[in-house]
Amino acid sequence: MKALEIKKGIYWVGAIDWDLRNFHGYSTELGSTYNAYLIVDQKIVLVDTVKHYMFNEMLERIKSVIDPAKIDYIISNHTEMDHSGSILDVADIAKNAVVVCSPNGEKGLKKHFKKNLNFKVVNTGDSINIGRRNLNFLLMQMVHWPDSMATYIPEEKLLLPNDAFGQHIASNERFDDEFGWDRARIEAAKYYANIVLPYGAQVGKVLEAVSGLAIDMIAPSHGLIWRSHIKDIIALYKKWADNECEKKAVVVYDTMWHSTEKMAHAIKDVFEEKNIPCEIRDLQSSHISNVMTSILDTKYICVGSPTLNNGMLPTVSAFMTYMKGLAPKNRVGLAFGSYGWGGQSISDIENIMEAVKFELPVKGLKVQWVPDDKELIELKNKIKEAVK
């Protein structure tokens, strides 16, 4: 297992999790990587670590460059255990290593490990000289945890922003141009939609803070390293942080006896007639994390469920809970569904849409039992009227 030199004296020493398929609810069909970086200067620096079960892979890569006992600094840009999970193991080998983290990082690492490591707490504007290079720190609170921070090396024009700009991709390629922008962009979008979306305001501040920095490489903690598409990925992050939407629609639904399904397809037809691109996603076959990728920059979010036991179907309920947490902004919502006698699923969906401040131009889109042609036409007319 070898390290990969990404700049003179700076190495990727991470681990590739080829078989990862679930990252606390995020469907990682392509696996992931945990990217750690080794900087060899007068001081030896390890930026972030890997999940605990991949420690040996990282260690082998470090050993291909230096004796790990020589590590002077472990930079912990983020406390979440996919990056901090091997800190104790590294500290066991590098006995004198100083763990550098944000103020919230120190609190979080102590709570995680129940141990008082040799911490050095840094804030935005703080810097550590390691010889020929300097490590500058930038706190990135809530992108996406309170402890998150970035490390910037001005002499290398290298930004190490941890989760920001990441993607869940396991691959032999380490760089964006090797893997291909089109595929990398889709996975970066999925990552943003499922992890970073609630924190647009905070992302905006980070983008502003890094806008004045000279950057020719962004090395995140998951997936590919950006060296050829830096402007492109920053432009997308700006768009996503601003919750900029395109005039397109997603119809998300589950169905019991195909009645809500008929309504879903009727709604899709309306958008098509209006020349508004529309995706349709059946929650029995689409994972909620993939649906969120479709929602990321989509204006019209239509969600349908029949009523089961006075509420939504469990699949729709799970999706609505997930979407509520991710809280996409500036959206128009349409709730719909079939029912037998109660019809509460529709108002349940509407209540959640209102909680995340969706605009609801029409409410109560429900049909009893099985919709006939006349009822589907009435449904379509209501939506034609509502969608401008």
Contacts to ligand FEO by CB under 6 A:
78, 80, 82-83, 144-145, 163, 221-222
* Cα–Cα distances in angstroms (integers) from residue 298 to residues 79, 103, 247, 274, in the given order: 32, 37, 7, 15
- Cβ atoms of residues 78 and 145 within 8 Å: yes
Nearer to ligand FEO, 57 or 82 (CB): 82
Contact 143, 134 (CB under 8 A): no
Q: Closest approach of Cβ 377 to ligand FEO, in Å?
A: 48
Residue number with CB closer to ligand FEO (37 or 336): 37
Token pair of 47 as six digits: 């930026």
Residue 148 CB, nearest distance to ligand FEO (Å)? 7
- Nearest residue to ligand FEO on Cβ basis: 80
Cis peptide leading into residue 287 (ω within 30°): no
Active site residues: 24, 78, 80, 82, 144, 163, 191, 222
Specify the amino acid at residue 122: V
User: Which pair of tokens denotes residue 82?
Assistant: 């996919």
User: What one-character-per-residue DSSP string does 59-77 give?
Assistant: HHHHHTTS-GGG--EEE-S
Which residues have C-beta within 8 Å of that of residue 64, sequence separation ≥ 6? 1, 2, 3
What distance in Å separates the CA atoms of residue 71 and residue 39, rounded to the nearest whole number?
9
Q: State in angstroms the smallest separation of the CB of 129 from ligand FEO.
A: 28
Amino acid at 127: S
Q: Which is nearer to ligand FEO, 241 or 383 (CB)?
A: 241
Using alpha carbons only, give the angle 75, 93, 162 rounded to the nearest 5 degrees.
20
Q: Is 302 helix (H, G, I), strand (E, B) or coil?
A: strand
Q: Nearest distance from residue 165's CB to ligand FEO, in Å?
A: 12
* CA–CA gap between residue 317 and residue 254 (Å, rounded): 10
Give whichever of 144 and 174 is closer to ligand FEO, judged by the CB atom. Answer: 144
- Angle at the Cα of 79 from the Cα atoms of 73 and 81, rounded to 5 degrees: 105
Q: 122 exposed, middle or buried (CB, 10 Å; 0-12, 13-18, 19+)?
A: buried
Strand, helix or coil for residue 10: strand
Please identify, using beta-carbon distances, which residue of 80 and 106 lies nearer to ligand FEO: 80
Beta carbon of residue 40, minimum distance to ligand FEO (angstroms, whole number): 25
> Of 193, 202, 173, which is closest to residue 236 (Cα–Cα)?
193
Strands (E), 181-287: 217-218, 246-253, 278-282
What phi and psi values does residue 17 have, to the nearest 5 degrees?
-100, 80
Farthest-apart Cα atoms in the chain, separation: 78
